[in-house]
Structures are given as structure tokens and as C-alpha cells.
Amino acid sequence: MEMNLTPSGERLHIGFFGCRNAGKSSVVNAVTNQDIALVSDVAGTTTDPVTKAMELLPLGPVLIIDTPGIDDVGGLGEMRVARTRRVLNKTDCAVLVADCRNGLNESDKELVALFEEKNIPYVIALNKHDLSPETVCTDDKSILISAKTGENIYELKEKIAASANLCKSEKRLVGDLLNGGDLAVLVVPIDSAAPKGRLILPQQQAIRDLLEAGCIPVVCRESELAQTLESCAKKPAVVITDSQAFKYVSQVVPQDIPLTSFSILMARYKGFLEEAVAGAAAIAQLKDGDNVLISEGCTHHRQCDDIGSVKMPRWLKECTGAELNITLSSGNTFPEELSKYKLIIHCGGCMLNEREMLYRMKCALDAGVPMTNYGTAIAYMNGILKRTLSMFPDLYNMV
């Protein structure tokens, strides 16, 4: 069932790159043991990467990204590189497929330079060894394979696993902040914007991580929060709420119980909480006519009173009193031109991997635009940002 699949933000993203004549599609199919590569032999048929979530032993859950042949995109060299860069921004491990009979051509070398520039671990799969069995390779980044006969495909997977493990994160969402046996109260509103019949990903991940850490998660709606706190025989070590309920929840939770949100924890997990906290201060500077980008990491069905399109613009208006020009982006479409914005407010990014989230943050910093996220922005607008950072002493002292 899809609900039980590892979310894409938690999967290692493995990108396959190379020229069409190197047999990249056949290598992708041989490695995954499935027909997932859609790139045909006819030039110009595929311009967008194809992705597929799967279990790939010995790696575990991965997202395979099959990119168009670098020589298949057409147009100017610069456009080709720009497209490739976009895919690389979320690639944890790159596989360059080349024809072993020709070695690396100029496009291949360009790709290797990009992997190195972006600090992405990579493997070079020298394909078609069946056609040239006398070819040898001595460099330890490369491996001779044949997608046609299956030669060294298992070894290629092991090589990818060894490289990809270099970037496997040991980070935790919340379990490292608490001790075994601690009680954590999770506030989960069930309103019209909540998906039917399930919890959203950050809530599921928090519960799972708390259980793994030996903590005791207690889940309630905000309407039962006071009752839940009264029923606890021992003081909760933290209350974690949906940020949208911050205003109400902060009034109910006693000051001596740490309070934070799923979105704030997610920003720390994805490595950009410090920047998000600094970025929230830009809300106070917003004035009439300023452009604000609200960006969400996935495309979901927008409900009435949706946070990105309805609530956040409303809260910004109430807080600043300014008439702002709000632009909404979602999914893979993070705008390339950011300098016109005075502020970017991003969602928790639970569906994006850490590399993609940090890339977005870096684009904002490079363009000189502060970027914050839903949780920190809502806490800031409610005047409780400091309080919600009490579990992170460095940041607490920064505010």
C-alpha cells in the first residue's frame, strides 16, 4: 500500500546520467531489474527525467532518476548543463554510464566536473564490455559492465551502495532531543484541511522516531489538549503541535513545558532551522507591494482554508498590515529567479530530500533573499518564536 512506502524525502536519490549511445536506459533497467527507463532509441523523444521509487538491495529504499541522454536534450550547451544541474540538486549519488569502447567523451567529462563541483559521490559504469572484452579499467571510480549480459551488474549495485552510503544521514527528527521514557504530547488538528483517514507525513515520522527512541508519544487534537495534559501522570518533556494551531496551543500549554512544532523539527532535520529562524525576522520589514514567495515541496489537493494559498497570506496581512504580492510555487517548480522577492516562506519540505532543501535555501541566500518556513514564520507572527526554540539552546539565545 502506498501509505506504507518510505517517503521520497527519506530515499537515497540515485541519478543516472550519460549519452544515449552508452546504453544508459538498458543499464537503468538492468540495475533495477525492471523496465523503468523510458528513454527510447529515437533521438529527442524524452526531455524530462523519469523517477521511480523502489527497494534496491543492498541499498534499501531509493529513488531512481533516469535523466535524458546528455546529448539528447538539444539546444545550447548551457541549457543542457542547466537541466542537468537541476537534477543534480537532489541527487545523492550519480552514476555516469559510458561506452567502454570509447572511454569518456567531452559530455561525460562535463558531467564528472559537475558531480565534483557539487560534491556528489559518483560511479562510472563502463558499459558494453561484452563487445570489447579486452578493455580493462584500473580506476577505482569505474567498473566494466554489460547491461546486455548482466556482467558486473551486481557489483555495480554494490559500488553504488558503497558510494551512496557516504551520504546516508543519521539525523533524527526528534528522538535525539529526548530521553527514553519521556512523554511527548503531539497535537494533531483534524480539520477540513487534514487528509481523510490518515496522518500527514511529519506526524507519522515524529511518532515513529519517538517510538524508536523509547519515548511515549501521546496524540490528541487541540480541542482535547487541556484534558490530555491534565490526564498525564508525569509532566510531558515536550508538546509538538501542528504550527497552524500554535496560537491556541501556546495558550494552553504551561510555560514550563517545552513547545515546538512538526514544521520546526522538520527544518532542523533538513538542516536549515538556523536560516529559517533568521529569515523569519524579515516579516517585520514587509511593506505594501513587496513580493513574497510561498513555496511547497509537493503538489497536494488544495482544501478550503489551505495553509499556503489562504491562511499564510491572511496571517501575513494581519501581522504586517501590508498589501503583499504573493506567489505560490509547489512541487519541483522552485523559481530560478528569486531576487525580486523580499521573503520566501517554505513548507516543512517533508517530501524533499535534504540535498534539495539545502539547495533551495542556498539559492535564496545567493540571491540575498531571507527564507523561513511555515513553523518559524507562524511562531514569529504569534510572538512565540523564542519559546518554540527552547529545545535548541543556540537558537534560543539567537532570538
The reply to whether 242 sits near ligand SF4 by the rule CB under 6 A is no
Sheet strands (E) in 11-127: 12-18, 50-56, 60-66, 93-99, 122-127
CB of 84 closer than 8 Å to CB of 17: yes
The reply to whether 351 sits near ligand SF4 by the rule CB under 6 A is yes
The reply to whether 350 sits near ligand SF4 by the rule CB under 6 A is yes
The reply to whether 375 sits near ligand SF4 by the rule CB under 6 A is no
Residues 155-214 that bind ligand SF4 (CB under 6 A): 200-201
Read off the C-alpha cell for 342.
Answer: 523580499
Contacts of 253 (CB under 8 A, 6+ apart): 225, 229, 239, 259
* Residue selected from 98, 104, 286, 347 as contacting ligand SF4 according to rule CB under 6 A: 347
When the beta carbons of 243 and 320 are compared against ligand SF4, the nearer one is 243
Total interface residues for ligand SF4 by CB under 6 A: 11
The reply to whether 31 sits near ligand SF4 by the rule CB under 6 A is no
* Residue selected from 23, 297, 370, 375 as contacting ligand SF4 according to rule CB under 6 A: 297
Closest listed residue to residue 34, CA positions, set 70, 73, 66, 4: 66
CA distance 111 to 242: 42
Pairing, β 259-261 against β 238-241:
parallel
Read off the C-alpha cell for 170.
Answer: 543519521
The reply to whether 349 sits near ligand SF4 by the rule CB under 6 A is yes
When the beta carbons of 103 and 271 are compared against ligand SF4, the nearer one is 271
CB of 207 closer than 8 Å to CB of 217: yes
Q: Give the interface segment with ligand SF4, choosing from 139-147, 269-277, 345-353, 389-397 (CB under 6 A).
A: 345-353
Helix (H, G, I), strand (E, B), or coil: what is residue 120? coil
Contacts of 193 (CB under 8 A, 6+ apart): 303, 304, 305, 306, 307
Closest listed residue to residue 173, CA positions, set 165, 164, 184, 163: 184
Q: Give the interface segment with ligand SF4, choosing from 129-137, 334-342, 348-356, 362-370 (CB under 6 A).
A: 348-356
When the beta carbons of 247 and 300 are compared against ligand SF4, the nearer one is 300
* Residue selected from 15, 258, 348, 375 as contacting ligand SF4 according to rule CB under 6 A: 348
CA distance 338 to 343: 9
Q: What sign results for the dihedral spanned by CA atoms 377, 378, 384, 387?
A: negative
What minimum distance in Å lies between the beta carbon of 263 and ligand SF4? 7
Q: Give the interface segment with ligand SF4, choosing from 218-226, 234-242, 282-290, 341-349 (CB under 6 A).
A: 341-349
What minimum distance in Å lies between the beta carbon of 296 and ligand SF4? 4
Q: Give the interface segment with ligand SF4, choosing from 20-28, 36-44, 92-100, 343-351 (CB under 6 A).
A: 343-351
Pairing, β 50-56 against β 60-66:
antiparallel
When the beta carbons of 104 and 201 are compared against ligand SF4, the nearer one is 201
What minimum distance in Å lies between the beta carbon of 166 and ligand SF4? 25
Q: Give the interface segment with ligand SF4, choosing from 10-18, 122-130, 157-165, 290-298 (CB under 6 A).
A: 290-298
What minimum distance in Å lies between the beta carbon of 200 and ligand SF4? 6
Contacts of 168 (CB under 8 A, 6+ apart): 12
The reply to whether 100 sits near ligand SF4 by the rule CB under 6 A is no
What minimum distance in Å lies between the beta carbon of 81 and ligand SF4? 27
Closest listed residue to residue 238, CA positions, set 169, 184, 275, 175: 184
Q: Give the interface segment with ligand SF4, choosing from 169-177, 212-220, 344-352, 378-386 (CB under 6 A).
A: 344-352
Applying CB under 6 A, which residues contact ligand SF4? 200-201, 296-298, 300, 347-351
